[in-house]
Structure 1
Amino acid sequence: MASKLIEPLSIGALTLRNRVIMSALTRSRSVPTNVPNGINLEYYTQRARGGAGLITTEGTLIVQQGSEWQNAPGIWSKEQIAAWKKITDSVHNEGGVIFNQLWHLGRVNHPDAPEQKASGQPVYAPSAIAARGGKFRFLPGQPGYVTPTAIDDPRIIIAQFRQAAINAKEAGFDGVELHGANGYLVHQFLDSTSNQRTDSYGGSIENRSRFGLEILKELVSIWGNKRVAVRLSPAGGYNDMGMPLQETIDTYQYFISKADELDLAYIALVRYMPAMDPTIDGKTRATQHDVLASYRPCVKNSALFLNGALTPDEASELVASKKIDAAIFGQLWIGHPDLAKRIEHGVPLDAKLDYTTFYGHGPQVSEEEQKKGYTDYPFAAHL
C-alpha cells in the first residue's frame, strides 16, 4: 500500500533514497551543554541505518538562548560544529542525507534560563508582546512566558542565521531547513498577533513576510539552490499563534509563493493537529483549514513535503496523486529507528511509545537514563 513512499526522489544534485522523511524532533538530549554528544550520534546513525530518505535534525539554536527545551543543541560554536561533523559523517556513511534545522525561539525564551543568562542578551521578539501559555518546567515555580524586548534591527538576527548556515556547511550537512513554524521567531514575524511593528518588517503581509524571506535569501546565498528549505505551520496555534482565517490564507499564500521563487529544496507544511492547538482564554488558538488544498498551488519550483500525523498508506496515496512529493513522519521515527525499511518490507509498526521519555530530563540524569526511549527502541529482527 505504501509503495510510492519507497521510490527515490531527486532534489537538485541530491537523491533521496525514498520519500520517508524524518521530522525535526526536539529530544533535549544534548547534555550537559548545547553540544551534540555520543548518544545524539547514535540516535541519528540508527535512523540513517534504518533507511530515512532525509533526516531533518532537531531544532538547532543559532545563538545561545533560554529555551523551554532544555539541552537542545546549537550551531554557533566551533565545539558544536565539530560535534555535528561526527554526526553528518556517520549519517553519510550509512547512505543518508541530513539537513540542519536552524532555530531561533524569539519570545518563547526565558531570561532566567541558564543559557539566556550566559548569553547576556534579553529575550527578543518582533514586538513587546508576551506569548500566553507554556511553562519552563526546569525553572523554579514553572514560570510562563515574559514580555520580550522588541528587536531594534532585524538585520542583526538575519546575519546570525547567515552565520549559522555557514557553520552548518562546515559541519558537513547536506542543506539547511529554516524553522518558520510553531510560534518561533520567523512565525512571530509572519503573524499579526505577535508582530505589531510599524517599520518595514511589520504591518502589511509583504512587510511581515520580509524577515523570513530575507533569511531564506541569505541561506540560499550560502548554500545555493535546492539546498535550503523552510518549515511552516499555517494552521497551528502552538505558542499563542493564529490570525483570522482569510488573513492567514493571504499571508501564507504570499509567503509560500515568494519562498518558492527562490528554488528551494522543499517547503514543508504542517497540517492542523489538535495536539498543537492550545486552549487559551477558553478558546482554541489555531486557525483550522485545509493546509494542503490552500497552499499546494503556490508551490511550483520546490518539492512539497507534508507533516502532521500521516499514516504511511495515506502518505503514499498523496504521493501517488502528486499532491505531495514526500511525507514527513515524527513519532513513528521515535519508536521505529528502521521506519523506512519497515515500510518497504511491510513490517508492522508496533512500537509502544513511552511518552515520558520523549524529552530529556536535564543534565542530572545519567547517560543510561538518557538513552531510554531515545536509542533503545529495537530494529525489526529480520531486516
Structure 2
Amino acid sequence: MAALFTPLTLGDITIKNRICMSAMTRNRADPNRVPSHIMKKYYLQRALGGAGIIVTEATLISPQQGSQFDRSPGIWNAEQVAGWRKITNVVHLAGGRIYCQLWHVGRLSHGSADGLATGPVYAPSAIPARQIKGCFHFLPGTPEPGLPTEIPDPSVIVAQFKDAAHNAKIAGFDGVELHAASGFLVHQFLDSTSNVRTDKWGGSSENRARFGLEVLKACVEVFGTNVSLKISPEGGFNDMGMPLKDTVETFSYFISEADKLNLSYITLYRYTPHKDPPIKGKERGTPHDIISTYGKLIQKAKTFVVGGVTPEEADELVKTGQVDGVFFGVAWLTHPDLAKRIRHGKSIDNMLAVPHLYGDSNVDPKLGYTDYPAVTY
C-alpha cells in the first residue's frame, strides 16, 4: 500500500504517512479535566505506532459547559495546558505530530452533567436534541438535556475558541482541529433544524455558516495555516439532518468559504448507519457521496475522509487522488501500532473492549486503553 506511506505537507509541517488517527472520546482525564499520566502513555503508544498525525480526543474549550462524559479533557487553564504539554513533548520525541481538537458541545449537555460547569446550557436556539437518552454516561437513570438557552452573543464563544487555540499553542500542539461535526455546537449553527435564529447568525446558509467561519478565522490568527476542520454533512448523529438540497447548499458554501482561509486540511466524516438512530421511526441522516460532492470544492486545503474506511479502500482513495489522506478511529484505538501493521501486512484483529471504551473511575484506567497488544516486528 505504497500510496499510504508517502509524506504529506499539512500547513507548515510534513507528516510521514497518510494513516492518521482520528479524535475519539476516551474519558481518561482527571476529575478537573486535566490530562492524566495514562493519557500520555496512550498517545505515545500511537505515535510510536507510526500515526501520520494524531488528533486528540475532543477537548473542551471552556468550563462554561458540561459534556456527556465526566473525564473529557479541557484546555482552558494552566494546569490543563501543562498536562497537554507533557503529551505533546513525548509525541514529538517519538517523531509524531499532534493536533488538538477544539470542542464545544452546545445543547448536548445537561444541567447536572458537570460539577465544573457554570451557567445555562447554551445553543444557537432554544431547541433541545432528541433521542439522546443514556448518553450521559455517568449520571443515574437516562436523563435527557433540558431546554437550552439561546446564546445571546455568539462572538463570546468565538473568543473562547480563540483562547483555547492560544492555550493549545502554549501546550506545544502542531495545530488545532475544529470539531464541526456530529451535532456539536458548530454543527448546531450550520443545521437549520437546530438554528432558527433571525439575526446575522441564522436564517440563510451564509448566516448559519458564520459562526463556524468566525471560529476558524480566530484560530487562524493564532496558528496560521495549521488549522483544520472536521465536518459531517450527512448528519444523523445527535439529532442532526436537513433535507438533501439544503444540506448540499449549506455545506458547499461552508466548505468553499473555509477553504479560502488556507487551512491545513478538511476532513469529511462519512455517514455511518449505527450513528443515526431512528427518531419517531425515521432516521435523520441524508446519505450521499460526500467525497464527490464536496471534494472538488477543496482547492487549497488537503482533503481527508473518515468513517469506516478499510486500509484497502484508503489506499485506493489516496492512489486515485480522491483524498490526500485517511483518518482511522477504532482501528487506532485497538491497535497502537496500526500503521506498522498495515506496512508489514499484519492482521488488524484486536477486539474492541466495549465495557472499557469510556473508562470507569472504579476500575483500572488502562483497561481498554493502553493494554491493547502490539505486534513484535
TM-score range (shorter-chain normalised) is over 0.9
| 1:1-383 matched pairs, under 5 angstroms | 2-64=1-63, 65-115=65-115, 118-134=116-132, 135=134, 136-225=136-225, 227-361=226-360, 363=361, 365-366=362-363, 369-382=364-377
For residue 312 of structure 2, give the secondary structure of its aligned residue in structure 1: helix
Q: Note the C-alpha offset of 1:247.
A: 0.2
Tell me how far apart the structure 2 counterparts of residues 377 and 137 of structure 1 sit (CA, whole Å). Answer: 23
1:179-222, Cα deviation, whole Å (9 max, x unpaired): 00000000000000000000000000000000000000000011
Flag structure 2 segments of 5+ consecutive residues without an equivalent.
none
8 Å contact 1:181–1:232 — kept in the other structure? Answer: yes
Q: Which runs of 5+ in 1 are unaligned?
A: none
**Distance in 2 of aligned mates of 1:370 and 1:259:** 38
1:45, 1:90 within 8 Å by CA — same for their partners in 2? yes
How far apart, in 1, do the equivalents of 2:172 and 2:184 lie? 25
Contact 2:61 2:104 survives alignment (8 Å):
yes
- The answer (yes or no) to whether the contact 1:342–1:348 under 8 Å persists in 2 is yes
1:78-111 deviations in Å (ceiling 9; x for gaps): 0000000000000000000000000000000111
Alignment TM-score, normalising by the size of structure 1: 0.96
Contact 2:28 2:39 in 1 (8 A): yes
Whether contact under 8 Å (1:230, 1:266) holds in the other structure is yes
Distance 1:190 1:350, change over 3 A: same
Shift of 1:287: 1.2
Q: Distance in 2 between matches of 1:228 and 1:12?
A: 8
More moved, 90-99 vs 67-76? 67-76
Alpha-carbon distance, 1:142 to partner: 2.1
Is the deviation greater in 8-17 or in 329-338? Answer: 8-17
For 1:289 and 1:277, how far apart are their aligned partners in 2?
14
Secondary structure of the residue that 1:280 maps to in structure 2?
A: coil
Query: TM-score under structure 2 normalisation?
Result: 0.98
Q: What letter matches 1:239 in structure 2?
A: N
Contact 1:278 1:286 in 2 (8 A): no
Counterpart-to-counterpart distance in 1, 2:358 and 2:277:
19
Q: Specify the SS of the correspondent of 2:365.
A: helix
Note the aligned Cα RMSD (angstroms). Answer: 0.9
Deviates more, 1:149-158 or 1:130-139: 130-139
Note the C-alpha offset of 1:3: 2.1
Q: Partners of 1:86 and 1:229 in 2: how far apart?
A: 23
Give CA deviations for 1:314-372 in whole Å, capped at 9, x if unaligned: 000000110000000001001110001111111111212221211112x3x24xx2111
Amino acid at match of 1:379: A
Cα distance in 2 for partners of 1:312, 1:194 equals 35
Distance in structure 1 (CA, Å) of the matches to 2:235 and 2:276: 6
Which letter maps to 1:286? Answer: G
Alpha-carbon distance between aligned partners in 2 of 1:32 and 1:128, rounded to the nearest angstrom = 29
* Matched residue type, 2:169: K
The question of whether the paired residues in 1 share the 8 Å contact of 2:25 and 2:72 is answered with yes
Tell me, yes or no, if the aligned pair for 2:69 and 2:137 is still in contact at 8 Å: no
Contact kept in structure 2, 1:137 and 1:143, CA below 8 Å: no
The CA deviation at 1:7 is 1.1
In structure 2, how many angstroms separate the alpha carbons of the residues matched to 1:185 and 1:28? 19
Distance 1:377 1:329 in 2: 16
Name the SS for the 1:53 alignment partner. Answer: coil
Q: CA offset at residue 167 of structure 1? A: 0.3
Tell me the matched-pair count.
Answer: 374
Residue identity over aligned pairs, in percent, reads 54
Q: What amino acid is the match of 2:228?
A: A
Contact 1:81/1:171 (8 A) holds in 2: yes
Higher mean C-alpha deviation, range 197-206 or range 348-357: 348-357
Secondary structure at the counterpart of residue 158 of structure 2: helix
Q: What code does the residue aligned with 2:81 have?
A: I
